Structure formats: structure tokens, C-alpha cells
Amino acid sequence: MAVECVIKNATSTVGEGPHWDDMTNTLLYVEHQENAIHRFNPETSVGDKIILGTMGPYDPDVENMPKIGSLYCLDLDGSLHTMVKDVGISNGLAWTSDEKTMYYIDSTPRKIYRYDYDVTTGQISNQKVIVDHAGKPLLDFGFPDGMTIDTEGKLWVACFVASKVVQYDPQTGKQLQAVNIPALGITSCCFGGKNLDELYVTCSAHEFSKEEFEKYPMTGSVFRVKGLGVKGFKAQIYEGEIKEG
């Protein structure tokens, strides 16, 4: 296993939502407090910046912020449906290859959930907690944040505050391995590269102290992990309508 920084100090705020575009073999990620989408070409190490986004404040903090968020489903006809209410911070989503199970993270209670999924209707049911870090030491377990799934059905979860990405077995909830990242605020991850066998990892630089930056100068960077021995799936693309307004 090898961890390398591919975009040093890529953000001064919050880097999130990595997405591998297999049509162009480039990495997309958002910098949501700068209302921007970035594209990175690993072949040329060149990046550019694109438009958008909103978010609410962490008040008074992540664990105690009001649960006013929701999880939505955007249907193919462009209609929007509320699937889960009373959410603190909606985060990682992943589906099994048979499209019968969906995994979802709400970072505020520090839990990963499993749902039965109906691919024909988009409906979810039978919520079950598969990983629960409530009350556990933050520096060891962090807040579960963004997530992806490999072709063996195992989950890869960014652990905000804990400086690592952890692989979980969703059937048992057990940790299988951890990838330590030399930065704070690990936010999300996705598989990329021409063979989808490289793990790209984003992180935040928001609200860390000068002392923390001195200890972790790569905070806010984008990292790539090679040699994990697993692969991911091509990213799913929305093929429906987008309604104005």
C-alpha cells in the first residue's frame, strides 16, 4: 500500500465529494464553501475549476447541531422526494452490485446505516445500524463521512478527525483495515484510475488551528492510495431530467 499527495493543499476550506469520471479519466471533487467543482487530470497533474452549492452552519458543533437535514431521491422525471428526515449531516452513499441494498451515513450520530433498496421505485426500507461510533474516542474513530464500495462489497469510509480511511465489512460491522492519511479532516473517497484500483481521498482545511497545520501541513490536500488489492465500480450517472427552479 502506498499513500501519495497528488494535489497539495487543494483547498483552504472543505474538499468533498470525489467522483471519478471514467469517460475522461479525471477526478472531480467539490470545494463547497467556495461554491466550486474542481477537475484533476492525473496524467498531466493539471486541474481546473467549475460553478455552485450551499450548506448550513455547524451550530453549536457537529455532534449537537440541530437535525434539520434530509436525504432526498431525485427521480428520473426530475421530481424530488424526501426519503429520510431529521438528519444532521447527510454523507456517504453506496449500493451493492445487485442493487438490493443501500448504505448511508449520517455523520452527526456517527452511524452507518443499511437499507433494503428497490431499484424499480427508489424506495428504501428496514433501516439497520451496521456501524455505530457514538461515544467512542474521536481521535481513534472520528466522524464517518464520505464513503465508497469496492467490487467485493466492502465499504471504505473517510473518518473525519481521525486521519484515516477505514474498510468495513457491512455484514459484520467489523473493521478490516485502515489507511492512515497524513492530514486532518478526511472527508471522502472514491475509486479511480484507468483500472478503478486507486483510492482518491479528499480532506478539509476548514477551522483547523495554526498548530494543527504545522503538525499536518498536507491538510486540505487530495491523496491517492495505490496497492490496496481491490477495485471499485464505475460511478453511477444520473440519466433523468433536471427541472429549472
Catalytic residues: 145
Calculate the CA dihedral of residues 22, 196, 119, 122 and round it to 10 degrees.
-70
5-18 per-residue burial string, b: 16 or more CB within 10 A, e: under 16: bbbebbbebbbbbb
Written as nine digits, the cell of 225 is 492510495
Cα separation, 166 vs 178, in Å, equals: 4
Q: From the CB of residue 52, how many other CB atoms can be counted at a distance below 10 Å?
A: 9
| CA gap 175, 167 in Å, rounded | 6
Q: Report residue 36: phi and psi, to 5°.
A: -140, 150
